[in-house]
C-alpha cells in the first residue's frame, strides 16, 4: 500500500522549526521552477485569486513533486468548500476572517474526519491507495485561521481555545482596514496590535504566523513567529528595479 505524503509544514512546526511558505505562484510550471529552493509550502490563492477545484489537481501535484505542502486559502467558511478543497488534493486550509470561536470550530469540523470533525467521507486524491487514510488524513491536514479583523483580536482568547488548529495567522492589511487605517498597515496602532496579537498567541502555546518580507522577516523570527509567509510579488518588483538601476548606472 502507498503511504500518505507527510505534511512538511506540520512536521516542521511540530519540532519547533521555521516553516517557509510562498504565495503568488499561480500555475504548475511556476511551482516547478520554485521547487528546488527549499520552501516548505505553497499558499494557493482561492479567496482573491482564480484557484478553484478545476486547477487544484495540477497545482497540488506540482507541490507533491517537490515535497511542498499545498495550502489553499478558500473564500468562505463553508464545510463543503473546505472538504472539497481537501478532496481535490490540498493538504491544508487557510480560512480568512475567523472572528469567533464558533467560526474557528467550523473550520475544524469541515476539515477533520470523525471523531474530530464532520468532513464528508471520501478518499482524497492524496489518499489513493493509502491504508487507514481517514485516520492518517486527520494527522496530516494543516489548518490555518486568519486573524484579520479587530473583532477577532477582541475575541482572541476564545478563538485560541479551539483545538486542532495549527496556525493563527495575523493578516496585516485587512486588520488595518478594520481599525480604520485602510491601506496603511504600517500605522503605529496597527503594528502595535499585530505585535501584541502575535505575543498573545504564543503566550498560550499556540503557533503564530504572519506575512513577512525580506525587510521584516528577521523582526518576526526574533518575536517567535514560526509560520513565515511571503509573496513573490515583492521579490519580482525589487529584482526588476535593481536590474534597471544596474543597467542605467552603466550608461
Q: Which residues contact 195 (CB under 8 A, 6 or more apart)?
A: 223
Q: Which of 48, 118, 164, 187 is catalytic?
A: 48
- How far is it, in rounded angstroms, from Cα 156 to Cα 171? 14
Looking up cell 496603511 gives: 184
Q: How far apart are the first and last CA of the chain?
A: 63
Alpha helical stretches, state H, 3-52: 8-14, 28-34
Residues near 161 by beta carbon (within 8 Å), at least 6 away in sequence: 101
Q: Is 181 a catalytic residue?
A: no
Catalytic residue positions?
48
Amino acid at each position: 500500500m502507498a503511504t500518505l505524503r507527510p505534511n512538511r509544514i506540520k512536521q516542521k512546526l511540530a519540532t519547533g522549526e521555521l516553516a517557509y511558505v510562498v504565495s503568488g505562484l499561480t500555475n504548475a510550471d511556476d511551482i516547478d521552477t520554485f521547487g528546488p529552493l527549499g520552501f516548505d509550502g505553497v499558499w494557493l490563492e482561492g479567496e482573491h485569486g482564480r484557484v478553484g477545484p478545476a486547477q487544484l489537481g495540477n497545482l497540488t501535484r506540482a507541490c507533491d513533486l517537490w515535497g511542498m505542502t499545498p495550502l489553499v486559502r478558500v473564500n468562505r467558511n463553508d464545510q463543503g468548500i473546505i472538504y472539497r478543497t481537501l478532496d481535490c488534493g490540498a493538504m491544508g486550509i487557510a480560512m480568512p476572517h475567523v472572528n469567533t470561536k464558533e467560526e474557528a470550530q467550523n473550520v475544524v469540523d469541515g476539515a477533520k474526519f470523525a471523531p474530530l470533525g464532520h468532513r464528508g467521507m471520501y478518499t482524497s486524491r492524496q489518499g489513493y491507495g493509502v491504508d487507514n487514510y481517514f485516520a492518517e488524513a486527520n494527522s496530516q491536514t494543516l489548518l490555518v485561521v486568519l486573524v484579520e479583523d479587530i473583532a477577532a483580536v477582541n475575541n482572541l482568547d476564545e478563538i485560541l481555545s479551539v483545538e486542532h488548529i495549527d496556525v493563527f495567522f495575523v493578516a496585516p492589511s485587512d486588520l488595518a482596514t478594520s481599525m480604520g487605517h485602510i491601506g496603511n498597515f504600517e500605522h503605529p496602532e496597527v503594528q502595535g496590535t499585530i505585535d501584541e496579537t502575535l505575543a498573545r498567541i504564543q503566550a498560550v502555546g499556540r503557533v503564530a504566523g504572519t506575512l513577512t518580507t525580506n525587510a521584516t522577516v528577521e523582526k518576526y523570527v526574533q518575536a517567535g513567529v514560526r509560520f513565515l509567509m511571503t509573496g513573490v510579488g515583492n521579490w519580482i518588483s525589487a529584482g526588476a528595479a535593481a536590474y534597471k538601476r544596474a543597467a542605467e548606472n552603466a550608461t
